[in-house]
Structure 1
Amino acid sequence: MNPAFSVIFLTTLIGTGQGLFLALYTAQAYSTVALLPAQPGSFYAVGSAIALALLIAGLIASFFHLGHPERAWRSAARWRTSWLSREVIVLPALMGAVAAYGLVHYYGWGLGLIGINTPVEGDLALVIGAGGVALAFLLFLCTGMIYACIKFLQEWATWLTVVNYTLFGLASGFLLATAYAAWRAPALMYFYGGWTVVATLAVLVTRVVSLIRNRRLKHKSTIQTAIGVRHARIVQKSQGFMGGSFNTRDFFHGVAPRLFRSIKWIFLVLVFPVPLALLFAGMIRNSPVLIAAAFVVQYLGLLAERWFFFAQANHPQNLYYQTIS
């Protein structure tokens, strides 16, 4: 497939925003049971603002691959059968939950506003945040299933697609939370850093498994099935066009094989070993700058990973149009 950069930015930005929000809520939940030191409401309010900004940026990016952005609202109409429609509905709902979570912390509101008094500090934020957590994981599911449900693109049609989208979002979100904590709440830096390592190593395993799986795939479609001829030896010599077409532009990335393979190794290096090395160095030296650099490097790697994810999908029509004479 030919990746649209707007979709690459959409999926990586909202994934990081979801992960950051989940990190914020996790820290509050731990502090509620005295496993972590409590933080002021401003810590969660500013963190929620950053997460919301990432979600909004992802939503804005999504408009750039629409032929008629003014009709974007119609994309929610097929929510009964379309994972894309469900994503369009869940994303704004999550944005509302994140905004409400941040506002509740900023103003220090509690359940006492509605006549419910509890001994738990930040009780209203915990309730709203729990709903946000459910929406965040539902959004991971919707985004991953947009691609995993396409059966004829065998590289995507696997449970690993949903798992990788979720784990990449958690890894990048918790890494950003580590950088944010190093700046605003050093007591949480090692907590977030530890979970960043866990999420990053987990997605390293699942992403490598998906790479191995895709390399061993035996495609159901062949040149024989594409043209309806069952001869054992058929060789394609031309794509069937004197010039390009919609088919050749939108369903094949057009990158040289050597560069395509290089991008795989680029993202494997930038997403995993380099950020972890910078993260460890930053935590040892208590350096927000090094941890922020780890996030920037990993995000650049995520852009390369997402491009590779889309480009690796081999549309069956490429059997007929891909080869150039």
Structure 2
Amino acid sequence: MHPAFSVIFLTTLIGAGQGLFLALFSGQLYSAVNLLPAQESSFYITGSVIALGLMIGGLAASFWHLGRPERAWRAASQWRTSWLSREVIILPAVMGLVFIYGLLHFSGWHPNWFGNAIPNQPALIVGVITTLAVFILYIATGMIYASIKFLQEWASVLTVINYTLLGAASGFTLATALAAWQGSGLIGFYGTWAVILTLAGLLSRAASLYRNARIKYKSTVQSAIGMRHNAVVQKSMGMMGGSYNTREYFHGASAAWFKSIKYIFLVLVFPVPLLLLWAGFSTASVPLLATAFVVQYIGLLFERWFFFAQANHPQNLYYQTI
């Protein structure tokens, strides 16, 4: 498939924003039961603003993918059957909930409805609801692609798992840098989870690469043209120039460049951020931890490009590479 940079930025930015919120709320939840030190409201306010900014940036990027942006609202009309419609509905809901979460910390409105043992109860309740919505959004985004059965590289539960783990990993890596910048005592907590999620993402992404390298395609050159002969070989794509089919259903990169992208993202998303996290969170170095997030995010851009480009549309059996 031909990767659209608007969708690449959409999925990576909202994934990191969702992951950052999960990090913020998990820290607050641990501190509510006295497993971690309590943080100032400014920490959660700043984190919520950044998470919301990332999701707004992803949403804005998605509009570049639309031929008629003024009709974007119609995408929500097929919510009963379309995962894209469900994503269109749940993304603004998550953004609104993150805004309310940050606003509750900003307002200082913390009535203790269930006794004094649990602090910041309204924010905790909103946080639980937002966490559920965040995971639903991860599932909806992944299922947009996993539900397309004829694109066999995508049609796997690993697609949803990778979207979730890689988004959460980038969010926790960003939370580690934020904690260092704010002088928070949660650097070790966030850094440890960032490492765990990055390693889990490495395992799931490696599993998907292994699976995709061994796919037995259901469609063949013979089935594409309705002939059973074993020695059918295509010599030409049947036209003098390109067309919509050759532009939109094939990435157009050379075999060498396509292969190199895989190794670029494997290095940038996993080992380099892990090394920077290991060096940074033990010394609370803001530059190192911020670099870990930046490098990992750049790697995710390459990873998402490769994810889209690797999908081999069955029509390419007919419109093959020249």
TM class by shorter-chain length? over 0.9
Counterpart-to-counterpart distance in 1, 2:51 and 2:127: 13
Partner of 1:52: 52
1:35-73 per-residue CA deviation (whole Å, 9 max, x = no partner) reads 000001111011000000000000000000101000000
SS at match of 1:285: coil
Letter of the aligned partner of 2:55 in structure 1?
L
Distance (Å, rounded) in 2 between the aligned partners of 1:108 and 1:306: 39
Q: CA deviation at 1:283?
A: 1.8
| More moved, 304-313 vs 181-190 | 181-190
Equivalent residue for 2:71?
71
SS in 1 for 2:13: helix
Letter of the 1:118 counterpart: G
2:167 maps to 1:169: yes
Instruction: Report the RMSD for the aligned CA atoms in angstroms.
Output: 0.9
Checking the alignment, whether the CA contact within 8 Å between 1:10 and 1:62 is kept in structure 2 is yes
Question: Which 10-residue stretch deviates more, 283-292 or 143-152?
Answer: 283-292
Structure 2 match to 1:141: 139
Q: Percent identity?
A: 65
Structure 2 partner of 1:235: 233
Q: How does 1:79-94 map to 2 (within 5 A)?
A: 79-94=79-94
* 4+ residue runs over 4 A deviation: none
Q: How does 1:194-213 map to 2 (within 5 A)?
A: 194-213=192-211
Alignment of 1:211-250 (within 5 A): 211-250=209-248
Q: Secondary structure at the match of 2:185?
A: helix
Q: CA deviation at 1:303?
A: 0.2
Give the TM-score normalised by the residue count of structure 1. 0.97
* 1:83 and 1:142 in contact (8 A); partners too: yes
Aligned residues of 1:248 and 1:321 also touching (Cα < 8 A): yes
Cα deviation for residue 148 of structure 1 reads: 0.2
Q: Measure the CA separation in 1 of the matches of 2:133 and 2:90.
A: 7
The yes-or-no answer on 1:305 pairing with 2:314 is no
One-letter amino acid of the counterpart of residue 92, structure 2: P
* Partner residue, 1:153: 151
What SS does structure 2 have at the residue aligned with 1:305?
helix
Could you tell me how far apart the structure 2 residues matched to 1:117 and 1:146 are?
A: 40
Task: Write the deviation string for residues 221-261 of structure 1: whole angstroms up to 9, x where unpaired.
Answer: 00000000111001111112211100000000010001100
- Structure 2 counterpart of 1:298, which letter? Q
Deviation string 1:142-167 (CA, Å, 9 cap, x unpaired) is 00000000000000000000000000
Q: 1:46-105 deviations in whole A, cap 9, x for unaligned?
A: 100000000000000000010100000000000000000000000000000000000000
User: In the alignment, is the contact (CA less than 8 A) between 2:250 and 2:316 conserved in 1?
Assistant: yes
2:230 partner letter: A
- Between the aligned partners of 1:295 and 1:91, the Cα distance in structure 2 is 23
Residue 118 of structure 1: aligned partner? 115
Q: Is the 8 A contact 2:188 2:282 kept in 1?
A: no
Structure 2 counterparts to residues 256-295 of structure 1, below 5 A: 256-295=254-293
- Call closer, same or farther: CA 1:158–1:117 in 2, change over 3 Å: closer
Contact 1:79 1:86 in 2 (8 A): yes
Matched residue of 2:78: which SS? coil
Residue deviations 1:106-133 (CA, integer Å, cap 9, x gap): 1111246xxx463121100000111100
Q: Which moved more, 1:273-282 or 1:21-30?
A: 273-282
Gaps of 5+ in 2: none
CA distance in 2, matches of 1:36, 1:130: 18
The number of aligned residues is 321
Q: For residue 284 of structure 2, what is the amino acid of its counterpart?
A: N
